[in-house]
Each structure stands twice: as C-alpha cells, then as structure tokens.
Amino acid sequence: MHPMLNIAIRAARSAGNIIVRSLQHVEHLEITTKGRNDFVSDVDRLAEQEIINTIKKAYPEHAVLAEESGQNGESDTVWVIDPLDGTTNFLHGFPHYCVSIAVVFKGKVEHSVIYDPLRDELFTATRGSGAKLNDRRLRVTKRKELKEGLLATGFPFKYPEHLTPYLATFNAIFPQVADIRRGGSAALDLAYVAAGRVDGYWEIGLQKWDLAAGMLLIEEAGGITSDFVGGNNHYESGNIVAGNIAIQQQMLDSISPHLTDELKR
C-alpha cells in the first residue's frame, strides 16, 4: 500500500472514531450556521483537525483544502478533506454519513479514502491500482439499460436557485429508471456507484471535498464521472454525472437538455 494511502486511512479512521463517540451527546452539540441549510458542529471541526494533524505529522510540506478550515499551504500535493459528509443526516440521527479524504497531485486525484464509521466500511483507491471496499475489489455495475437502473442523487437543499433546474432533471429521468435514492452524503453516493450498489448518480452544486475521493474510486472501479456535457469540468464546477459507462451516457442524454448552459459544465 502506498504510504500516503496509509496515512489517509489512519486519518479517516480516527476522524470516524471522533464522530461515533460524539453520537452519545449529539443533541447537546453546539451548531453554527454557515449558510442556508448549511450547519457545522464541533464534531465536524474536531474530526477535521484530527485529520489535518495526522497528515501534517507525516507530510508537513503538503497543502490542505478542508471544508471547515479552507486552504492551508501551497504545494503540488493537496489533501482534500470533508471531515463529515452528510452533516444534516448526522445532526438528525439519520445513520448515513462518512469521512472523505483525497490526495490530489497537480490537479489529479491519486489516492482516495471514504470511510463510513457506522458500517465500518472503508472504500480506498490508488490511481492505477484499483478500488477496494475493505479487502474486496470494487467494480461498477454491468447493467446496460437505464430502465433497470437504480440511481442516486442529491437535492440542492443549500441552493434554492438550483431547485427549478434540478427538478427539471429529476422529472426527465425519473420515469426512465427503476428508482432513485437520496442518501444525503455525496461522497457515499459516489462510493456506492464504485461499489455497484447504484448504477449512477447525479448532483449539481457540489464542492471539491464532496467529490475528489469518490471520483477516483469510480474511475478505478471501471466507471466514469463527468460534467453534464461529458467533459472534465465537474471537479471545478461541482456539477457531476457518474455511473457505469453505459448508464452514465444515457443519464447525460436524458438530463443535459434540461439544464441551463451555466450548470452543464
């Protein structure tokens, strides 16, 4: 295993421990509002600090881009961190959230960890070496027909201005698929595409820390991620379609015509 992946795993597991330990007193947590429907608790901050400390001990010269503390340092290697993806779930006691950590070298994700501390599921990938869930190799689904597909998505609950275009995409695709899930953690949605638990996923308005780790997991599991015109701007824009290659193309065909140009890339 690559030493950087090893550090990412160590960091994700200790953040996961912080999250799970805090469950006993979740109703007494201090919660701050960052924006509309966008909350942060001490648990997000503590978990993030733990991750950053673990990384900085091993790689003091690397930069960090983390959701709660922003960009720290300048380097070709940036650790992109979401300490708790699925905060709304966490705060409501809905058991579905994770820690997401990616190592990005010159703009390309090289190592990924997504850790679900409740199920003790560790999703990992290193570029060129495949993706794993715990010790098992991951592959995306083989399903070819959108009508048989189970998709995941995210609602634009932080961005009311995206509701109308989002609902247009939902209306277009819903009648064409087996069903759609809204889990509430973008990183787990992506991990589930890689693990073959859903055939595809789309969302608009994400951040780099929601996406980075999951993008490599999917690629290494034989799937594809793109923006809504099949291009590569999704990491920058946060507008993403992911899936196995056949389903992802059908999703693009179905969704793209319903999005404004601004949200397509």
| Strand, coil or helix: 227 | coil
| Of 122 and 187, CB closest to ligand IPD | 187
Sign of CA dihedral 105, 107, 111, 116: positive
Q: Which stretch binds ligand IPD (CB under 6 A): 73-81, 106-114, 178-186, 222-230?
A: 178-186
Applying CB under 5 A, does 82 fall inside the site for Ca ion?
yes
- Rounded to a whole number of angstroms, the minimum distance from the CB of residue 83 to ligand IPD is 8
H/E run at residue 219: helix 208-220
Q: Which residue is it, tokens 């993403």?
A: 240
**Burial of residue 202, with CB atoms counted within 10 A of its CB: 0-12 exposed, 13-18 middle, 19 or more buried:** buried
Least distance from ligand IPD to the Cβ atom of residue 155, Å: 6
Q: How far apart are CA 233 and CA 165, in angstroms?
A: 19
Q: Which does 154 bind (CB under 5 to 8 A by kind): ligand IPD, Ca ion, none?
A: ligand IPD
Residue 41 binds to ligand IPD (criterion: CB under 6 A): no
CA distance 51 to 70: 13
How many residues lie near ligand IPD (CB under 6 A)? 12
Q: How many residues of this chain bind Ca ion (CB under 5 A)?
A: 5
* Tokens at 106, concatenated: 């010159």
- Contact set for ligand IPD, span 184-243 (CB under 6 A): 184-186, 203, 206, 210
Q: Which stretch binds Ca ion (CB under 5 A): 74-82, 166-174, 225-233, 255-263?
A: 74-82
58 to 97: interface string for ligand IPD, x by CB under 6 A: ------------------------x--xxxx---------
In the complex with ligand IPD, the residue whose CB is nearer, 39 or 105, is 39
Residue 210 binds Ca ion (CB under 5 A): yes
CA distance 42 to 22: 9
Q: Which stretch binds Ca ion (CB under 5 A): 66-74, 111-119, 165-173, 245-253?
A: 66-74
The first and second tokens of residue 85, run together, are: 């993806």
CB 185 to ligand IPD: min, Å: 5
* Identity of the amino acid at 203: E
Min separation Cβ 117 and ligand IPD, Å: 14
Q: Which is nearer to ligand IPD, 16 or 86 (CB)?
A: 86
Contacts of 29 (CB under 8 A, 6+ apart): 22, 41, 42, 43, 91
Which residue lies nearer to ligand IPD by CB, 184 or 223?
184
What is the token pair recorded at 111?
């190592």
Tokens encoding 136: 């098992």
What is the C-alpha to C-alpha distance for residues 26 and 182, in angstroms, rounded to an integer?
Answer: 23
C-alpha 42/C-alpha 230 separation (Å) is 38
Which residues contribute to the site for ligand IPD (CB under 6 A)? 82, 85-88, 154, 184-186, 203, 206, 210
